[in-house]
Amino acid sequence: MSGLNLKGTLFMETTITAYNYSDITQKVNTLVSSYLSVNDSRMRRVIRDSTIAEIQAILPADNPITEAFIERLKPDRLTRKAAAALLPTLEPLVEPFPDLTSKQLSKLFRKVKKLKQPEWASVNRHQLTYLGWNDGGNQKKYLVAPYQGKLIGIQGDMGPKTVKNVCAICHTIGNVSLFVTTTKAGLETYTRNGNYICRDSDQCNRQLTDPQGLAEFIETVRSKR
C-alpha cells in the first residue's frame, strides 16, 4: 500500500464533497418520487419545504449557485427530467477527485507490473469519493481512496460471482461481489481480509452519502504493516 499526499494541488479548498452531492441527489430524487405518490398539495409543500431545508444545510450559504438551485426546487411537482437537468448545476461546488496521471497511479500500486488504468473518459470526478475499477481478465479490483490525509492504493481479488446484498462501502443493497486482499502479517504469515462491495464502483459512489462506510472498509482490507 503506497500513499499520495493530499496537500498542495491535489485538492482545492472544499465547498461540498462528492458524498454531499450524492446525498443531495438522493434527497431530490426522493422529493420527485413523493410528487408522484402524494396528491394532497399541502402535504407536498411540507415535504418540499423539509427537503429544501435539509439541502440548504449542506450547501454553502450566500452562494449564487446555491440560490439558483434552491429557487428551481420550489415549483410544485418537479419532474424527473427537470431534476436530472438541475442536479449537474451543483458540480462547480463539488470538490472533484484528483485527475491522477498514469505515473501517480503506478506509484500507488508499485507491486503491480502491468496495471490496468481506469477509463477516465467515462468517469465523473465530481461524483467520486473514491476511485475504483475492475480488471476482469485477472479478477482484480483496484481502489484509490483518501486515508489519513493522503491517497492510498488497495488491490484485491474480486470474486466472479455477483449477488444481491448490502455493500460494505455505500451500505446500499445492490449487485455486490466479494473483494479480498492478502496482506503480510509476519515473516511467513499472510492474512486474507475482505467484504462484499458493489461490483460497479461508479454506481457505489453515486449511492455513497456517508464516508464512514468507506473508512471502515479500508481499515478492514488495508495492509497493517
Please identify, in words, the CATH class of the domain defined by 18-93: mainly alpha
- pLDDT digit string (tens) for 182-220? 877 666 677 888 899 999 999 999 999 999 999 999 998
Percent of the chain with pLDDT over 90: 70
Q: Longest Cα pair distance anywhere in the chain, in angstroms?
A: 68
Angle at the Cα of 162 from the Cα atoms of 176 and 191, rounded to 5 degrees: 70
> What are the start and end residues of each CATH 1.20.1280.250 domain in the chain?
18-93
- pLDDT digit string (tens) for 139-178? 999 999 999 889 999 999 999 999 999 999 999 999 999 9
What is the identity of the amino acid at 191? Answer: T
What is the identity of the amino acid at 68? Answer: A
Query: At which residue does the C-alpha cell 460471482 appear?
Result: 161
Q: What is the mean pLDDT of residues 107-117?
A: 89
If DSSP codes are grouped into helix, strand and coil, which group holds residue 102? Answer: helix
**Least reliable range by pLDDT among 2-16, 24-38, 124-138:** 2-16
Please name the residues in contact with 79: beta carbons below 8 A apart, sequence gap of 6 or more.
32
Measure the CA–CA gap between 94 and 166, rounded to whole angstroms. 27
75 — pLDDT class (breaks 50, 70, 90): confident
Measure the CA–CA gap between 202 and 132, rounded to whole angstroms. 7
> Which is more confident, 8 or 223?
223
> What pTM, to 2 d.p., does this model score?
0.86
pLDDT score recorded for residue 1: 46
